[in-house]
Each structure stands twice: as structure tokens, then as C-alpha cells.
């Protein structure tokens, strides 16, 4: 069997605009340890012909197809009927699921209805998979050449059928399908992956630097995942090219230099937190335009109370003067969004909290408040420490939300670079 798998997600609610389909993400993440790779997810409504068409097409491309949803007892639950169109046979009661359902209804003191009983039906050509969380069982259906006309290489293919509700999907997957995957003797293809989490460089700059050192190569795939001010670079190879990956990764790291803030999947707030914890340093924040976002990000990390003492959200100028000891004259002379005020804020919060580092932001998040000299998106950053205070200035010509996000990113990165000495 090949390691590529597909998912067919059924359910009109997934295409209604009300519900986000999380099955693809869940499945891809959970089957990776088995060396399985999700190559396609097709989401389709409660439509018999469409479901059958999607499953049939998927079986033509890959050896293992997961199908989710449509296993209840009501009129819009059509997955079993669609599968019969493909593999033939009929429906039988799955005794273990029926017994579990009867126990559950007895506990609730309710009679078992026909609609309820219908959801414990399974294909007679399949095997029932008990649902540890809900009522409708899943199914494992093995396809032989005789069963699937017109499907290429039908020597041995598998359909795993899972209930649609996310907790039941995961329950059947982990409890019933994982043991079966383990026994299937899959030729485990475990792609090797090295991560370089970057900040301060754009995706295009990163790509150009990597191109200069010959990446990607035919063997080394380069993938990018860009979030706000944070780009994950993935170098991926098949196991036989492990040596090449080991050789090229340091070159990639060197090419990207100080932009690399971690080599595992963590955010800047966690990278900064780890550095503070290891170096036994403390931090206090003075936030104006970011309004608390930096504090919020830092405190997302468990254990942050060891190094984050707190801060002042100095949104009004009066707070900058009163709580951070910024001289009123400085604000009047240079404006609240200025290098001078940012420096005073950082030093003020450091002194107030008795912290090793004081980190400050002051800027114009917009959409109002900009001027020709200081357009919307103008932000000053300062970092105060015993050794002195440094400041930086950027302009993010974007929305209010993004100015805040980018600013929190740049502020954390200022501290990260100081802590790493890069």
C-alpha cells in the first residue's frame, strides 16, 4: 500500500457557512506517525450521488480512503447507501453498537426509537468500529479486486468510515482505526523535516537567500508557512536523503542568520520566554498602541509568571506620565509617538517593576490619528536594560489589527535578539 491517503468529508453543514471542517487538520496530524500523508480532502454535502462519486474517485488515486459523517439515523444520513453503491452488499445490525445504544437509552430512561436503532446499521461487507464517545459506529471496509470494478490497482484498498462529530471522529480513529493501521504493515514513509522559524525577513527574501545556496534541490523540498511577521521554513526529504538534509540545514540556517528564532514550532513569545527563563531574567512591559497584546502573548505560555512581572497599558498620555514617569515636556516636545517617549516608557516600566528588561511600544494603530510626518502604522519600540536602552522605529502601512500584531512581533523580536546577542 502507498502512504498517500484521502479524506471525503460529508455533511451539508460543512458547506453551509456555519461550520468549519476540522477533520482534514485532525486526520493529517494524527496519521503522520503511521507514515501516512493526507493528499486530498473533498468536502461534499448530503448528496448520495456526490458522496459515491467522491469516494470512487479517491479510491482510484489512493489505497486508503477515510470517509466522515452521514452515519446517523435520519434522512440526511446517506454515507452507508453511497458506499453500498461502490462495494455492493446490504446493511446489517451491528450487535455491539446496538447493545451499547440500548444501555445508553435505558440509563436515560428513554425508549429506543427506530431512528436511533438505524444508526447502528453497518455494511455487511464491512466491519463495525465501536464509537467510544457517541452512538453511530464507524466501519472498516476492505476492498478486493472483485468488489471494485474500474478502480485501478484494486488488489487491496481500505475504506475507513468515521462519524462526523469531531469528538466521535477522533474517538473512533484513535480507539479502533489506529490498532488496525498498526497491523496493516504499512511501508512507513516517514518524511524527515527540519524547521527554521524565522522573523524579520519576508517570505520572498527568505526564498532568495535559500535559492542562492541552491535550495530547493530535487531531493530537498522547501515549504513555507507565513503568519503575521513569522515564517516557518520546512526542509523536507525522504528518509534516504537524511544525510543531504543534515548537510544542507546548517547552510540554510547560516543563510537566514539572526532571522531564525527557533528550530521547533514555537512562537516568538515562547522563544523569548525560554530565553528569559534560562537566563533567569525578568521583564515588564509598557504598552501604548499594542494595548496589552504583548502581555497577552507572553502570558499564553505556561510558567510565564517566572519571568513576566507585568506591565502598564499606558493608553492615555496621562498614564505615561503618571505611571511610567515620562516627563510631560517630552510628550509635548516630541509627541507621544517618538523615540524619546518610547525610551522613557521602557525605562519607566523597568524601574517601576524592578525588572531586568523594560519593553515599550508607542504608535499610531489607526485608522485615525495619522499625519504626514507620522502616518498610520508608525510605531516606536524601546528596550531598556541595565546596559542601556535601545530604540527602533517601523512603519506598518496596514490595518489596525495588523499594526498591533506586527508591533507585538517586532517588540518581542527586539528582546529576543538582545537575549541571544545577535
Cα–Cα distance, 267 to 225 (Å, whole number): 13
d(CA 284, CA 269): 14
Of 129 and 220, nearer to a copy of itself (C-beta) is: 220
Phi–psi pair at 315, nearest 5 degrees: -75, -45
54 alpha carbon, distance to own chain's centre = 27
Long-range contacts of range 320-328, CB-CB < 8 Å, 24 or more positions apart?
320/286, 320/288, 320/344, 320/345, 320/348, 320/362, 323/348, 323/352, 324/286, 324/348, 324/349, 324/352, 325/351, 325/352
Our CB check for a copy of itself shows the closer of 245 and 336 to be: 336
When the beta carbons of 13 and 127 are compared against a copy of itself, the nearer one is 13
Closest approach of a copy of itself to the CB of residue 36, in Å: 11
* H helix or E strand, kind and range, residue 330: helix 328-334
Rounded to whole angstroms, the Cα distance separating 289 from 292 reads 9
State in angstroms the smallest separation of the CB of 321 from a copy of itself. 12
- Residue of 104, 174, 90 whose CA lies nearest to 138: 174
- Residue whose CB is less far from a copy of itself, 299 or 420: 299
Least spacing, CB of residue 93 vs a copy of itself, in Å: 16
Q: How far is the CB of 235 from a copy of itself (least distance, A)?
A: 12
Q: Closer to a copy of itself by CB, 75 or 152: give it.
A: 75
CB 144 to a copy of itself: min, Å: 27
Q: Find the shortest distance in angstroms from Cβ 402 to a copy of itself.
A: 8
| For a copy of itself, the closer CB: 22 or 328 | 22
C-alpha distances in Å from residue 212, one per residue of 198, 202, 247: 18, 16, 16
Amino acid at each position: 500500500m502507498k502512504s498517500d491517503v484521502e479524506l471525503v468529508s460529508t455533511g451539508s453543514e460543512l458547506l453551509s457557512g456555519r461550520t468549519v471542517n476540522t477533520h482534514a487538520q485532525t486526520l493529517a496530524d494524527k496519521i503522520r506517525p503511521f507514515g501516512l500523508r493526507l493528499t486530498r480532502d473533498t468536502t461534499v454535502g448530503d448528496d448520495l450521488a456526490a458522496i459515491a462519486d467522491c469516494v470512487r474517485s479517491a479510491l482510484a488515486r489512493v489505497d486508503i480512503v477515510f470517509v466522515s459523517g452521514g452515519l446517523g439515523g435520519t434522512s440526511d444520513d446517506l454515507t452507508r447507501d453511497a458506499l453500498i453503491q461502490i462495494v455492493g452488499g446490504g446493511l446489517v445490525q451491528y450487535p455491539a453498537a446496538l447493545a451499547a445504544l440500548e444501555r445508553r437509552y435505558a440509563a436515560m430512561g428513554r425508549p429506543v426509537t427506530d431512528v436511533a436503532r438505524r444508526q447502528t446499521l453497518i455494511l455487511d461487507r464491512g466491519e463495525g468500529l465501536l464509537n467510544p464517545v457517541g452512538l453511530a459506529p464507524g466501519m472498516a471496509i476492505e476492498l478486493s479486486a472483485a468488489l471494485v470494478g474500474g478502480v485501478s490497482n484494486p488488489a487491496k484498498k481500505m475504506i475507513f468510515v468515521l462519524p462526523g462529530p469531531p469528538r466521535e471522529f477522533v474517538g473512533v480513529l484513535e480507539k479502533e482505526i489506529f490498532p488496525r493501521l498498526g497491523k496493516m504493515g504499512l511501508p512507513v514513509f516517514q518524511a524527515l523535516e527540519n524547521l527554521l522559524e524565522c522573523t524579520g525577513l519576508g517570505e520572498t527574501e527568505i526564498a532568495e537567500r535559500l535559492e542562492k545556496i541552491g535550495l530547493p534541490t530535487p531531493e530537498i523540498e522547501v515549504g513555507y508557512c507565513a503568519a503575521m511577521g513569522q515564517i516557518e521554513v520546512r526542509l523536507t526529504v525522504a528518509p534516504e536523503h537524511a544525510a543531504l538534509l543534515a548537510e544542507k540545514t546548517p547552510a540554510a540556517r547560516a543563510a537566514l542568520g539572526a532571522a531564525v528564532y527557533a528550530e521547533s514550532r514555537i512562537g516568538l513569545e515562547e522563544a523569548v520566554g525560554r530565553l528569559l527563563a534560562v537566563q533567569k531574567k525578568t521583564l515588564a512591559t509598557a504598552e501604548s498602541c499594542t494595548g496589552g497584546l504583548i502581555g497577552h502573548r507572553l502570558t499564553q505560555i505556561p510558567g510565564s509568571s517566572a519571568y513576566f512581572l507585568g506591565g502598564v497599558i499606558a493608553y492615555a498620555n496621562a498614564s505615561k506620565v503618571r505611571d511610567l514617569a515620562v516627563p510631560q515636556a517630552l510628550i509635548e516636545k516630541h509627541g507621544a509617538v517618538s523615540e524619546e517617549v518610547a525610551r522613557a516608557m521602557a525605562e519607566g516600566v523597568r524601574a517601576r517593576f524592578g525588572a531586568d528588561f523594560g519593553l515599550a511600544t508607542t504608535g499610531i494603530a489607526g485608522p485615525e490619528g495619522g499625519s504626514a510626518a507620522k502616518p498610520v502604522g508608525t510605531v516606536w519600540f524601546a528596550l531598556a536594560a541595565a546596559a542601556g536602552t535601545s530604540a527602533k522605529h517601523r512603519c506598518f502601512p496596514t490595518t489596525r489589527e495588523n499594526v498591533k500584531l506586527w508591533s507585538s512581533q517586532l517588540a518581542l523580536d527586539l528582546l529576543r535578539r538582545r537575549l541571544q546577542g545577535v
